Structure 1
């Protein structure tokens, strides 16, 4: 049972992917991580041995710490974080408890190399519309919260990827791209192993909007309209991405929590 300094896997699962999710920190030993290199979605991997050095970076923020079983490493790291000004809890039963609950786990083998600051770096075509905003949202919310995105001229995406050690996405002839009827957003969900019913529902909307298939979901035309509107509102691609994060946060929460809700105002009452 959760206490004020622990959180259950079920409760944490409800927070992951939302705009206000806490920082998730995995402090498993290198030996334990080598035995299973997956991560709870949205987690960053740090060492408990150096928490006194990096812990101050999370002052004033909420954090959830997990180790293999939620014992000494997570408890000690969380205590240090609280000492350094963070609101830190530990994951009840740790990584093994999350796995036993059969909750999604991120396949880190598919991640591109990280930069000197531990961030994954991605590159795609400038002037994004649907997939090139949806994929960064997915990465920031479920894969790497600190990911960097470079928007460049279409002709330079591959070369920039090579020179700046960035993973190209949503262009032809690269790993992170459309496959058959699937768009890049679909492919990322599948390759990272993070499929859940809400994400798969959202993927259908993205695919319909991105591939001119409004028949796939009645909401797809609305997503396309909002995406095209944002592309006209912002000249700066990164500003558009920040605005698009809110858009996809809203669509994700609808997919997860609100698909059965309707709106019936004004009511059509018969006149006396």
Structure 2
């Protein structure tokens, strides 16, 4: 049984990818992270220099919501920082067994080295075409839920994507002739899963749905036409792309949870007649 201020890898794994996921701080020593650069999905790596007591105030000021601290094996670095955060009124737990336990359990890890552009606050910056439909909402959802919860997204005129990316040091995505874009039959969502090394059955299932909706191949999954219809409906409801993104986050949250937990469930009416009458 975990300590009262600890969270097990299995429990944290169930929260990752959902709106209830805590902020995850990776506090492994720099040398250890250099040997194994992979991180938990959505984790923010904290350099050793920022762990000094006199340097923690700026970090603490950015923490809005519950926190899980993960060090190498769940000892002093994570337990100490979690305790300090609790003393500051922040709900904080440490990851039981740390990074080693997570890795040894075969739980998902990502390659943060694929992020090549961050702003002064350490947030990844992404630039794409305005008026999103499918991929340009699906990819930001994936990034915010599994890669960088603080990511910044800029929607601009198609002709300006490259220039804006260069101006603000951002990464262009879902436009032609860029790294983060369609490849063959794969859409950008597929490419991001592969490049970041995210391998989860629920994301694999969701990727097929996104691909079918985004590339006019509704036959790939029965749910693809429904995702396309909902996406086109959202694009008509919102003139502000960032407002549409916020609404789309809930849409993809629902599709992800269906892919993860509810694919075997059916529904009929009525379901609760007295006596079980037909």
Q: TM-score range by the shorter chain?
A: over 0.9
Corresponding position of 1:91: 95
Matched with 1:68 is 72
2:60 corresponds, among 55, 64, 76, to: 55
* Residue in 1 that maps onto 2:23: 23
TM-score normalised by the chain length of structure 2: 0.94
Q: Distance in 1 between matches of 2:220 and 2:3?
A: 44
For 2:69, what is the secondary structure of its paired residue? strand
1:139 equivalent in structure 2: 143
- Asked whether the 8 Å contact 1:136–1:149 carries over to 2, the reply is yes
Question: Judging changes above 3 Å, is the alpha-carbon distance between structure 1 residues 230 and 89 closer, same or farther for their aligned structure 2 residues?
Answer: same
Task: Give 1:109-128 correspondences, 5 Å limit.
Answer: 109-128=113-132
Residue in 2 that maps onto 1:216: 220
CA distance in 2, matches of 1:255, 1:104: 17
Is residue 14 from structure 1 mapped to residue 19 from structure 2 by the alignment?
Answer: no
Counterpart pick for 1:187 among 191, 197, 214: 191
Question: C-alpha separation between the residues in 2 aligned to 1:53 and 1:140?
Answer: 22
Size of the aligned set, in residue pairs, is 269
**In structure 2, C-alpha distance between the alignment counterparts of 1:149 and 1:56, rounded to whole Å:** 22
Query: Separation in 2 of the partners of 1:76 and 1:55?
Result: 14
Q: Which residue of 1 aligns with 2:4?
A: 4
Deviation at 1:32, TM superposition (A): 1.3
1:167 equivalent to 2:167? Answer: no
**Aligned equivalents of 1:115, 1:183: Cα separation in 2:** 26
5+ residue gaps, structure 2: none
Aligned to 1:103: 107
After TM superposition, what 4+ stretches of structure 1 lie above 4 angstroms from structure 2?
A: none
Deviations 1:150-204 (A, max 9, x none): 0000011111111110000001110000011110000000100012000000000
Offset of residue 37 of structure 1: 1.0
Mark the runs of 5 or more structure 1 residues left unpaired by the alignment. none
In structure 1, what is the Cα distance between the partners aligned to 2:151 and 2:125? Answer: 6
Root-mean-square deviation (CA, aligned residues, Å) is 1.5
Distance in 2 (alpha carbons) for counterparts of 1:36 and 1:168: 27
Return 125-134 or 47-56, whichever deviates more: 47-56
Give the Å deviation of 1:57: 3.2
Deviation per residue, 1:35-87 (Å, 9 max, x gap): 1111100111124223344224326x211000111100001100111011111
Once the two structures are TM-superposed, the CA of residue 102 in structure 1 deviates from its matched residue by: 1.0
SS in 1 for 2:62: helix
The aligned residue for residue 261 of structure 2 is 257
**If the length of structure 1 is used for normalisation, what is the TM-score?**
0.96
Report what 1:35 is aligned to. Answer: 35
